[in-house]
Amino acid sequence: MKVVLQRVSEASVTVDSKIVADIQKGLLVLVGIEDADTQEDINWLVGKIVKIRIFGDENDVMNCSVQDVNGDIIVVSQFTLHASTKKGNRPSYIKASKPEFAIPMYENFVKSLEKDFNKKIHTGIFGADMKVSLLNDGPVTILIDSKNRE
């Protein structure tokens, strides 16, 4: 499972010209799922997302988590995080899970995140043509891969 965390001042997701998710200060989390992912990957990533200290403290040093700053989270499914660009110029998405596997994993990821975060998680709509708008704060963008825990 791969995630891209973006610290945002604001973010929203629009589907069919309707805003389906909208936050101010917090995290926009793009998540890509592959068939090898398990509940253990979800648990590890959720712990990282909730506790990662990428928000400024009173001295503007990144010492605070999204919980510490009372921020919000939007999660958006993003199968293209598993793009392979080794051959040619057209990415291959062979590692990205099919919806039969990915949808339950995505829903479990969101539920697990809500439980640990103790707050509603805003989401896009899995598989929809989404327009994601954000104001990246910093900019701060973090890539985390549950299969590469360095």
pTM for the full predicted model: 0.95
pLDDT of residue 57: 96
Q: Which residue in the list 14, 38, 80, 85 is annotated as catalytic?
A: 80
Cβ neighbours for 77, distance < 8 A, ≥ 6 positions apart: 30, 31, 32, 33, 102, 106, 124, 126, 127
| 116-125 mean pLDDT | 97
Residue 135 CB-density burial (10 A; 0-12 exposed, 13-18 middle, 19+ buried): middle
Instruction: Assess whether pLDDT exceeds 80 at residue 150.
Output: no
pLDDT of residue 149: 85
98 band by pLDDT with thresholds 50, 70 and 90: very high
* Tokens 């896009």 sit on residue: 124
Residue 44: CB atoms within 10 A of its CB come to 15
80 catalytic? Reply is yes
CA 112/CA 73 separation, integer angstroms? 13
Tens-digit pLDDT profile for residues 46-84: 999 999 999 999 999 999 999 999 999 999 999 999 998
Q: Are 76 and 132 in contact (CB under 8 A)?
A: yes
Work out the mean pLDDT of the chain and round it to a whole number.
Answer: 96
Which has the minimum average pLDDT: 62-71, 93-102, 105-114, 132-141? 93-102
| 110-121 mean pLDDT | 97
Q: Are 13 and 20 in contact (CB under 8 A)?
A: yes
Instruction: Assess whether pLDDT exceeds 80 at residue 30.
Output: yes
